[in-house]
């Protein structure tokens, strides 16, 4: 059973106001909708007050707590984003916060600073690296997290609340992700390849929804320096790939490739320079789409592709796809088992997409 915490507090003017902290997802949704607040994704906990905060009277944005200059970069685009959403232009203040400020802070030890009177140690407990607490009061706004990623998400939530309005409802939100990896797969190998501007817009949209991974499915559309004759002219260059990786990192998104390493390889294997790497030579059969991974020269070729990709996308992940291969081709054209992977291994991984 979900717990509801109902406390009575005295509002200014001596009037009593009921504060309800909702934890049931259905009740959280109802509570936020009543306040005309729409947040993606829906936060875990929400408390709604009866008054509002006027952004037009806000004195500025302050960054406090144990946050380094590099860590503060997660909020670099927040003033622009807030102005785009609400029409209110605010500057980041480096001095002590005044009443009427928006104050962001990071507290790795879970103990909020003196300027964060609306945030308690209980609020910061169990938030993890990506959780946050956001409090919109009548006179000021405070956002706190244990790590800078959580602060980034708090800023995105605040911008969503401020969309198309400057009068913000008083509320308190606690949120943290249910899943460690929240990813989106973009197939760039079939049809048009997005422009860099489109890629960056996709990153911003995913960041708004608090995704943290963007995976690019690649068969042949990367301009490998080791094999420049593979990619079409519109393929992704190493320079473009690194630019997208860096842009994603600024928005807390790991951009990495998902490389097809066995099947789905028609575009490469139809090239006369690589047709000897096929399972079958007859292009009318499905073997034209499958690499013969039992051959040492195929392994060397794949190693070249992987090395080029990891230089361009130096993150934590590299996706490896090993699906829909021509298993009959492996049995038809015999190769010694000491050449690469044994046939038994190939069979066992026929329809498994490896993502590690």
Tens of pLDDT along 79-98?
A: 999 999 999 999 987 666 77
CATH number for position 152: 3.30.379.10
Pairwise pLDDT comparison (214 vs 113), residue with the higher score: 214
> CB under 8 Å to 78, separation ≥6 — which residues?
61, 155, 159
Domain-embedded: residue 209: yes
Give the number of other Cβ atoms within 10 Å of residue 320's Cβ.
16
What token pair was written down for 47?
A: 């408390």
From the number of C-beta atoms within 10 Å of its C-beta (0-12, 13-18, 19+), residue 69 rates as exposed
160 and 203, same domain (yes or no) = no
Domain-embedded: residue 17: no
Domain boundary (132, 151, 175) is at 175
Domain-embedded: residue 9: no
CATH number for position 293: 3.20.20.80
What token pair was written down for 255?
A: 């951009």
Task: Quick: pLDDT tens for 170-208.
Answer: 999 999 999 999 999 999 998 889 999 999 999 999 999
272 and 332, same domain (yes or no) = yes
Domain-embedded: residue 123: yes
3 state SS of 53? strand
Q: How many domains does the chain have?
A: 2
Domain-embedded: residue 275: yes
Query: Containing domain of residue 282, as a range?
Result: 183-348
The pLDDT assigned to 9 comes to 31
Global pTM reads 0.84
53 and 102, same domain (yes or no) = yes
């Amino acid at each position: 059973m979900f717990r509801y915490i109902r406390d009575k507090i005295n509002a200014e003017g001596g009037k009593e106001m009921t504060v309800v902290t909702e934890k049931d997802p259905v009740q959280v949704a109802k509570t936020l909708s009543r306040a005309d607040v729409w947040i993606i994704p829906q936060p875990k906990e929400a408390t709604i007050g009866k008054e509002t905060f006027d952004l037009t009277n806000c004195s500025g944005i302050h960054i406090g707590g144990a946050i380094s200059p590099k860590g503060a970069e997660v909020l670099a685009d927040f003033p622009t984003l807030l102005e785009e959403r609400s029409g209110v232009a605010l500057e980041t203040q480096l001095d002590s916060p005044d009443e009427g400020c928006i104050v962001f802070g990071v507290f790795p030890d879970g103990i909020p600073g003196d300027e964060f009177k609306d945030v308690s140690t209980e609020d910061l407990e169990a938030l993890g690296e990506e959780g946050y607490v956001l409090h919109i009061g009548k006179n000021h706004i405070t956002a706190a997290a244990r790590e800078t990623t959580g602060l980034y998400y708090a800023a995105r939530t605040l911008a969503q609340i401020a969309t198309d309005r400057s009068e913000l409802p008083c509320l308190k939100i606690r949120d943290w992700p249910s899943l460690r990896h929240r990813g989106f797969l973009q197939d760039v190998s079939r049809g048009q390849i997005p422009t860099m501007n489109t890629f960056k817009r996709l990153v911003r949209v995913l960041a708004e929804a608090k995704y943290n991974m963007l995976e690019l499915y690649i068969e042949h559309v990367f301009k490998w320096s080791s094999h420049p004759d593979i990619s079409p002219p519109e393929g992704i260059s190493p320079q473009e790939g690194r630019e997208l990786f860096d842009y994603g990192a600024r928005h807390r998104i790991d951009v990495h490739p998902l490389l097809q390493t066995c099947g789905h390889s028609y575009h490469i294997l139809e090239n006369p320079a690589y047709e000897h790497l096929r399972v079958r030579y007859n292009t009318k059969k499905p073997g034209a789409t499958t690499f013969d991974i039992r051959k040492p020269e195929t392994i060397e070729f794949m190693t070249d592709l992987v090395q080029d990709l990891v230089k361009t996308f130096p993150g934590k992940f590299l996706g490896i796809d090993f699906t829909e291969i021509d298993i009959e081709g492996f049995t038809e054209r015999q190769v010694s088992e000491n050449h690469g992977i044994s046939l038994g291994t190939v069979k066992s991984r026929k329809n498994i997409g490896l993502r590690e």
